[in-house]
Structure 1
Amino acid sequence: MLIRGESGVGKTRLALEVTRLAAQRGLLVLTGQCVGLGVGEAAEPGPSTAPLHPLRPLLLTVADLARAGGEAEAQRLLGARGAVLAAYEPALGGLPGLGEPTAPPELPPDAARARVIDSVRQTLFALAASTPLVLLLDDLQWMDELSLSVLETLAEEPLARPPVLVVGTYRSEETPPVLETLARAPGVTVIPLGRLDGASVGSMVSGMLALRAPPVGVLDVLVRQSDGNPFFVAEYLRAAISEGMLTRDPRGRWHFDERGTAPDSLAALPLPRTLAELIDRRLSRLDGTGHALVAWGSVLGREFDAELLLADTGHSEGALLGAMEALRVRNILEEAGAGRLRFGHDKLRETAYERIPVARRRALHQRAGELLEARHGEAADLLPVLAHHFARGEVHDKASHYFVQAARRARAAYANGEAIAFYGSALTEGQALLASGDDPGRHDALGALQEELGDVLALAGRQAEARAAYQQALTRASGASLGRARLLRKEGKTWETHHQHDEALASYAAAERALEASQEGRAEGWWHEWLQLQVDRVSVHYFAARQEEMEDLVRRVQPVVEQRGAPVQRASFFQALVQKNLRAERYRTSSETVEHARASLRAREEVGEPGAVASARFALGAVLLWHDAFGEALDVLTEALRAVERRGDLPIQARCLTYLAMLHRRRRKLEPTRQWSNQGLEVATAARMADYAGAAQANLAWVALRRGDLGHAERQGLAALDAWKPLPLVYPFQWTALLPLACIEQRRGRHAEAVARLHAALDPKQQRLPDALGACFARCVKTLEHGPTAHLGDLLQRALTEAEREGFL
């Protein structure tokens, strides 16, 4: 449930009321806060806290319950996920029976990110399995990308999941696109919170002042002046108190004096007409020490250590403590727990910050950075905050340093969006240094940063932006060098990812020219880059279905690979040979292709990188399945699945589960097919792999068909086809859904529709069917198209019987 509204409209108040009612009913309520970096001027992008910070209360609660419940509870709540999540919440270390967490196995970045998201999701469900849970997350407009990705997966969950309600609030005037997308998800309810009408303003005033009904004239003025904004109403009442129009009697009851009961008198008062003016008026009544504290606090952030607030303001300790207490009494500051303070409302901080003269603001930010740096060093969680303060303080060298460190930490935590933003800010600061001439080596450093930015953009799927970053890096690279060749090759990969084959090959050709012109000699590094370039070229020809070019390139490259290739390159090359043959053989694999897959696995084992070994083992298992070597395929895929489950590699796990289900289906084993398909559907959904989610639904259609449930079989089969339709590449195993649907049409006497399904299965982009089976399907298609059709039903029945005999139906 998302509560959307402008600042001051009461979003947090409504959300707190929801959680209060939930707690009264015995639900577990957890609250997380999202915190932004800047205020006022154009704020630095990205949150001011570490990835998953808003979800730390969840992780801390899990840690506490695990310690209290012992080993069994720790295993139930976390198990192996503890090692993944301990990097984000250290309290998860040393739990009963889990020991000190070791770094989880390395995975490719996409898979590692999916593992983190799934670990949070599964931990949340484990906690909710024993107690229904409400999770309140305030200010989602400042939420980090990784936490938002967790919310996106939760929004896609079926209702049968453990009872979890996420309540989030966000400002309508600061809604990022990702929140707009989340708000449209099927599992999300959005509550737009508008301004109060007259009756609601009256209820609010009555509640705040314990009045049965406020004077009509007062209410009319408040409605008109506040425009229905609750925060504005409260500020007007504060102003009325300060003007002596609203007072308490000896019994503590509030009363409006004669001026206050007269509408003209209240309206004629010199009260501000905007919210900013109201807050400014409230702050202007502070003394000098109070002003200094509020200004310093607004620079430090929405929430900060009380000790830091008292540091270095040029006032005596007694004056500071008195002023801080006055700020609490006036509800400008409030306790945040653990020795921390926060502003009572963001608008108070924003207005106070805007009052600070620019030069003074710059000096305060610089001092804030220096104090935090002296107290905490380069603490990982404070890297974005240090970068922010030094950037606002125009200390460009330190700002650049901390933005780079924040970017690299975000990348390591799979928070790609934050990493991209921080790299961008680091480049801005680096450009400022370069312009000032303070750092002669900055030119090369900026080129390296542009390349790092390009790598993260490519990882995040933003290929055009990645290409622009590589091109910027190329402007700083020497004319003929390994570095220039590498950048051109990476540029080619950005084209290849979107299957823009000619552009990719042009970049690869430019990379090879740079290599040939390189003055650095053909040492090991040169050959490594050359071989990687050729392997990438093979991949382009594979996806472009340019069989002759691919075979020519393989013949040219293979001797060099065998002579000079490192094990990792030999593995990639043999995998490229597998791809080449898969295209030519249409996934009815030959013995040669099986041997290439074995060679790739051996090379990966020689390198010893567990994730790559598991991926190569899966590839061998799939090739064996398409070779109809079911027994060995079962052993290899099962071993690969065990390995990736230990590592938490969701994409490879989804693939293993899919082809294990297909294997059991080919062997006509109903229950194993159902079990593997259900697991595959869950994992593929969590990993957002529409092709494999569709494959699981197709296999479940076959299970339903075999059980005689034609309606369910049809729904699952059509859902599979719908899942594959939007994919950029054709999923080549659509027979898994087409054949059950053809059988259903045949049983309903809809022969033309059934033959249309068989015709689709014969498409050249689909897996090649056994010759006898393909011939049966082709006869049905020919008979329907050219007649006579009198015996079409018999031909169709024989074709489906042959499909069943071959293990395809």
Structure 2
Amino acid sequence: MRATLEALLERGGLAARLIEGKGWVFEPQTSILDATSPDVMLPSDVREMIQLRLVRLSPPARELLAAGAVLDHDFTFEALCQVAHLTTQDGLFALDEAIEDLLLQESPRQSGKVQAVPYVFAHDKIREVAYTEAGDARRRIFHGRALQVLEQEGASAAVLAYHALASGSVDLAFRWSMAAGDEAMTVFAVRDAIGHYEQARQLANEHTLKVPVTSLHHLYSQLGRAYEIRNDAKSAQAVYQTMLETARRVHDAEMECTALNKQAVLAGEDVSQLERAMTLLQEALAVAERNHDQSGLGETYWSLARVNYYALKLEASLVYGRQAYALMRELGKPDLVIRVLNILSYTTKALGQWEEAASFAEEAWQLAAQQGNRIMEADCLARVADTRINFGQPGEGVTAARAAYAISLEIEHAWSQALSGYTLARGLVEIGSYEEALTIALQSTEAAHALTFSILLIVNLLTLGIIYQALQLPEKAMGAHLEALKIAESLSAKRYIAMSASLLCAVSVFAEDWEVASRYAMRALAARDSHEVIFAETPRWPETAALLHAGDSEQASKDLHLFREHFGTKKRCHIVLARAQAVLAQSQGESQQAIVYLREAIAGAIEIGLPGECWQAEAALGRLYLAREEHEQAEQAFTRAASTIKQLAGNITNDEMREHFLTQGRFIIECSGR
């Protein structure tokens, strides 16, 4: 160790620096270390000792070791002989000599199958010296032979790219670097993929290779996509810009159309660039139409559907989505069909066409799973989960969302994590797993903060606020909803302004701040499209109560009438409606009808499995019975509510969080007589 440190200091790999209060420290000099051969960094006495051992070997044995150094590790006898150009007899003598001198040994990583025994160097330092001593010319020739041998053995593209590059074969290095990038993308090793694609790009640029246009098209598409997956929008846009310039220089309309589409979709995720995205897509549309490129036309329709969805131009998004779907079906392009079905599920859900949205999401998920498209599988599973939660199937929704979230973590995709995370958290709140919901929501909100697509951050913040409210933490709920409202206002996104204001109204009603609650209720009504519901579980009764408190019973009645007309038949929404109708009936002096509505809400909550909804409706029923001086019925209702509160508290492992939750429900528990 001491000798190694001395060697590093001598060659500048470490720099000594005196820091006041800490003494001497040794800082690695990365630029020097990266540019230095590992063998050079060996202490001189260690290197000389290994060199002496190598010099004593016969020429065939030295050739064998040079071949092994090139092959690196786990090489077979046959591979050694082929790379070193040794006969079987000479190779056996050389192998025995290397093993007897403790330079090579059988590999401990043997598979146990009936096959050739692999060998490794007894120590990495021996391999490093053997590699250096082989000399540049021999190394290049041996790497070329290794490439041929390993290709026949079915080695990975990454290994073949390494040998091609080391052999000086630029064309083969480009080819195998591309293949290695594709292999890495298949298993979502995105960092590795970027390294391989960038190596291919560098080879093409520095050596002026005659690369086919189709290969350049593939390279830029894959490299840009890899940067997108890593959430590096700046690098992705730079790649797509190079792709566009290249396409125009070589007059390739198909590549030009693709580059324009990719730039537009990426730009559309940033609301400040929506206008630029639309301009790019009009250019792409013109290119595709001018060249009768049906595939490009279909992709552009999909891009227009997506960007219009980002811009909340839902009708336009739906039109383009249906056009893209018809064209992609006709052309038989399953990867694009998946993407089209996915965006159609988003758009139809936003337009209140829930049944159709569910159908699109299910079909897209099945196709994505069949194609092995993990990103789209996670996205589509999240859409499936969303529809199930909205339809009053929270358990099934959690199952789908959990699967999507697991995929997002496995492939390290921030967008998928933010998308599936908030959906999973919504489902967990519905079934009463508040603590896990909070953990997931905090993680997914952090992921959403790193994205340029602000809508994902809004829905994550709204979900986080809902969880805080369920945990009886109104200040934190208010903070999350206010942040969501601020972002929604900056985007002029009415549907998210309406939802944020509605949830802020609910927090204010629980705090009995009626002036603020009324203001938020009016804000929600002004921004809301009656055909839209983003989260089916969003309560309406606080808005109704706030409007009634402000003396606007007519507006409260009208709002509930529209809600019942569009969503009243949907099981989850019917519970929301019944709670609000109970508040309205009670204000009109129809307490018996209010009891009927509350019992409807309770029965629905029990059937679906919504403990949080259940205890709050039971508590409201208990208060109503108290107002009617029906104390026995009131106590029964409060007893049922208290039982559910304790059940929910039992699911919380954090002592402080659990105690706070129980403290906030103390009035209900005391009224139950327990």
Shared fold (TM-score, shorter chain, > 0.5): yes
The yes-or-no answer on 1:594 pairing with 2:372 is no
Cα RMSD of the aligned pairs, angstroms, is: 5.3
Is residue 658–residue 695 contact of structure 1 (8 Å, CA) maintained in 2? yes
- The equivalent position to 1:637 in structure 2, one of 357, 361, 372, is 361
Do the aligned partners of residues 781 and 565 (structure 1) sit closer, same or farther apart at CA in structure 2, a change above 3 Å counting?
A: farther
Is residue 279–residue 351 contact of structure 1 (8 Å, CA) maintained in 2? yes
Q: Which residue matches 2:52?
A: 281
How far the C-alpha of 1:494 sits from its partner, in A, is 7.8
How far the C-alpha of 1:654 sits from its partner, in A, is 1.1
How far the C-alpha of 1:614 sits from its partner, in A, is 1.5
The yes-or-no answer on 1:575 pairing with 2:302 is yes
Q: How does 1:112-511 map to 2 (within 5 A)?
A: 274-286=45-57, 290-291=61-62, 293-294=64-65, 297-298=68-69, 301-307=72-78, 309=80, 321-322=92-93, 324-336=95-107, 338=116, 340-356=118-134, 358=135, 362-363=137-138, 365-366=140-141, 369=144, 373=148, 381=155, 396=168, 399-414=169-184, 416-417=193-194, 419-420=196-197, 423=200, 431=207, 444=210, 457-461=223-227, 497=236
Query: In structure 1, how many angstroms separate the alpha carbons of the residues matched to 2:372 and 2:442?
Result: 30
Is residue 174–residue 200 contact of structure 2 (8 Å, CA) maintained in 1? yes
Do the aligned partners of residues 690 and 446 (structure 1) sit closer, same or farther apart at CA in structure 2, a change above 3 Å counting?
A: closer
Query: In structure 2, how many angstroms separate the alpha carbons of the residues matched to 1:597 and 1:585?
Result: 14
Is residue 567–residue 606 contact of structure 1 (8 Å, CA) maintained in 2? no
Q: For residues 348-373 of structure 1, what are the alpha-carbon distances to aligned partners after superposition, in whole Å with 9 as ceiling and x for unaligned?
A: 233334445x4xx6247536745975
Do the aligned partners of residues 339 and 551 (structure 1) sit closer, same or farther apart at CA in structure 2, a change above 3 Å counting?
A: closer
Do the aligned partners of residues 6 and 696 (structure 1) sit closer, same or farther apart at CA in structure 2, a change above 3 Å counting?
A: farther
More helix by share: 2
The yes-or-no answer on 1:674 pairing with 2:674 is no
Do the aligned partners of residues 780 and 506 (structure 1) sit closer, same or farther apart at CA in structure 2, a change above 3 Å counting?
A: farther
Do the aligned partners of residues 594 and 504 (structure 1) sit closer, same or farther apart at CA in structure 2, a change above 3 Å counting?
A: same
Aligned residues: 482
Do the aligned partners of residues 578 and 327 (structure 1) sit closer, same or farther apart at CA in structure 2, a change above 3 Å counting?
A: closer
Query: In structure 1, how many angstroms separate the alpha carbons of the residues matched to 2:219 and 2:242?
Result: 23
How far the C-alpha of 1:699 sits from its partner, in A, is 3.4
1:734 alignment partner, SS class: helix
Q: For residues 176-206 of structure 1, what are the alpha-carbon distances to aligned partners after superposition, in whole Å with 9 as ceiling and x for unaligned?
A: 9xxxxxxxxxxxxxxxxxxxxxxxxxxxxxx
Q: For residues 64-115 of structure 1, what are the alpha-carbon distances to aligned partners after superposition, in whole Å with 9 as ceiling and x for unaligned?
A: xxxxxxxxxxxxxxxxxxxxxxxxxxxxxxxxxxxxxxxxxxxxxxxxxxxx
Query: In structure 2, how many angstroms separate the alpha carbons of the residues matched to 1:538 and 1:458?
Result: 13
Letter in 1 for 2:99: R
Do the aligned partners of residues 796 and 665 (structure 1) sit closer, same or farther apart at CA in structure 2, a change above 3 Å counting?
A: farther
Is residue 759–residue 777 contact of structure 1 (8 Å, CA) maintained in 2? no
Q: How does 1:597-676 map to 2 (within 5 A)?
A: 597-676=321-400
Query: In structure 2, how many angstroms separate the alpha carbons of the residues matched to 1:617 and 1:707?
Result: 29
Q: Which residue matches 2:670?
A: none
Q: Which residue matches 1:258?
A: none
Query: In structure 1, how many angstroms separate the alpha carbons of the residues matched to 2:84 and 2:506?
Result: 88
How far the C-alpha of 1:624 sits from its partner, in A, is 1.0
Do the aligned partners of residues 290 and 689 (structure 1) sit closer, same or farther apart at CA in structure 2, a change above 3 Å counting?
A: closer
How far the C-alpha of 1:608 sits from its partner, in A, is 0.7
Is residue 714–residue 741 contact of structure 1 (8 Å, CA) maintained in 2? no
Q: For residues 659-701 of structure 1, what are the alpha-carbon distances to aligned partners after superposition, in whole Å with 9 as ceiling and x for unaligned?
A: 2222222233322222222222212222323343334443344
Q: Which residue matches 2:20?
A: none
How far the C-alpha of 1:283 sits from its partner, in A, is 3.5
Query: In structure 1, how many angstroms separate the alpha carbons of the residues matched to 2:85 and 2:415?
Result: 64
Q: TM-score, normalised by structure 1?
A: 0.48
Letter in 2 for 1:458: G
Q: Which residue matches 1:267?
A: none
Is residue 664–residue 672 contact of structure 1 (8 Å, CA) maintained in 2? yes
Do the aligned partners of residues 606 and 285 (structure 1) sit closer, same or farther apart at CA in structure 2, a change above 3 Å counting?
A: same
Is residue 290–residue 324 contact of structure 1 (8 Å, CA) maintained in 2? yes
Q: For residues 463-519 of structure 1, what are the alpha-carbon distances to aligned partners after superposition, in whole Å with 9 as ceiling and x for unaligned?
A: 99xxxxxxxxxxxxxxxxxxxxxxxxxxxx985845x8xx989996x789x67xx9x
How far the C-alpha of 1:613 sits from its partner, in A, is 0.9
Query: In structure 2, how many angstroms separate the alpha carbons of the residues matched to 1:711 and 1:775?
Result: 25
2:105 alignment partner, SS class: strand
User: After the TM superposition, which of the residue ranges 678-687 and 600-609 deviates more from structure 2?
Assistant: 678-687
Do the aligned partners of residues 723 and 539 (structure 1) sit closer, same or farther apart at CA in structure 2, a change above 3 Å counting?
A: closer
How far the C-alpha of 1:446 sits from its partner, in A, is 10
* Identity fraction in percent: 16
1:801 alignment partner, SS class: coil
- Give the unaligned 5+ runs of structure 2: 6-27, 32-41, 111-115, 185-191, 525-537, 543-562, 577-674
Is residue 701–residue 714 contact of structure 1 (8 Å, CA) maintained in 2? yes
Query: In structure 2, how many angstroms separate the alpha carbons of the residues matched to 1:425 and 1:552?
Result: 31
Q: Which residue matches 1:801?
A: 539
Do the aligned partners of residues 743 and 611 (structure 1) sit closer, same or farther apart at CA in structure 2, a change above 3 Å counting?
A: closer
1:381 alignment partner, SS class: coil
How far the C-alpha of 1:565 sits from its partner, in A, is 4.2
2:179 alignment partner, SS class: helix
Do the aligned partners of residues 779 and 719 (structure 1) sit closer, same or farther apart at CA in structure 2, a change above 3 Å counting?
A: same
Is residue 694–residue 723 contact of structure 1 (8 Å, CA) maintained in 2? yes
Q: Which residue matches 1:169?
A: none
User: After the TM superposition, which of the residue ranges 277-286 and 442-451 deviates more from structure 2?
Assistant: 442-451
Return the structure number with greater relative CO, CA threshold 8 A, min gap 6.
1
Letter in 1 for 2:224: A
Do the aligned partners of residues 645 and 281 (structure 1) sit closer, same or farther apart at CA in structure 2, a change above 3 Å counting?
A: same
Is residue 387–residue 400 contact of structure 1 (8 Å, CA) maintained in 2? no
Is residue 321–residue 340 contact of structure 2 (8 Å, CA) maintained in 1? yes
Is residue 301–residue 321 contact of structure 2 (8 Å, CA) maintained in 1? yes
Do the aligned partners of residues 325 and 539 (structure 1) sit closer, same or farther apart at CA in structure 2, a change above 3 Å counting?
A: closer
Query: In structure 2, how many angstroms separate the alpha carbons of the residues matched to 1:626 and 1:698?
Result: 17
Letter in 2 for 1:350: E
How far the C-alpha of 1:629 sits from its partner, in A, is 0.6
How far the C-alpha of 1:594 sits from its partner, in A, is 2.0
Q: Which residue matches 2:668?
A: none
Q: For residues 2-30 of structure 1, what are the alpha-carbon distances to aligned partners after superposition, in whole Å with 9 as ceiling and x for unaligned?
A: xxx99999xxxxxxxxxxxxxxxxxxxxx
Q: TM-score, normalised by structure 2?
A: 0.56
